[in-house]
Amino acid sequence: MGVRLLENRVLISPLQEETSNGGILIPTAAQQKSDTGTVKSVGVGKRDDKGQLVPMTVKVGDKVMYNKYSGTEVKLQGEALIIVSENDIIGILD
């Protein structure tokens, strides 16, 4: 990917929804910001108060739900991605 994430950061590729529930095509400018995506990369985890490494809960390939307006939007190799803290991930989709 060309980026090494620090601590408990997660690189997510947001899922793009281009049609409404009724099948109507929605222009890009009118689309709502996604709150689900696929994990592309994860950091090593964060250290607790005793210096022990707390491993990451999510892994590459997981489909996750995250807080809608959290994280930092970046563009890597022409792909729009978002970097969030693992704390901003609210669930893993089955």
**Ranges of each domain in the chain:** 9-18+32-93
The pLDDT value given to residue 21: 59
The pLDDT value given to residue 19: 52
The pLDDT value given to residue 35: 87
From 2.30.33.40, 2.60.40.1730, 3.20.19.10, 1.10.357.10, which CATH number describes the 9-18+32-93 domain?
A: 2.30.33.40
Tokens 């696929």 belong to which residue? 38
Query: What is the DSSP code (8-state) at residue 35?
Result: -
pLDDT tens digit sequence for 66-89: 998 889 999 988 889 999 999 999
pLDDT tens digit sequence for 11-62: 999 987 555 556 666 555 545 566 899 999 999 999 999 999 999 999 999 9
pTM of the model: 0.79
Which phi and psi angles does 35 have, rounded to 5°? -125, 15
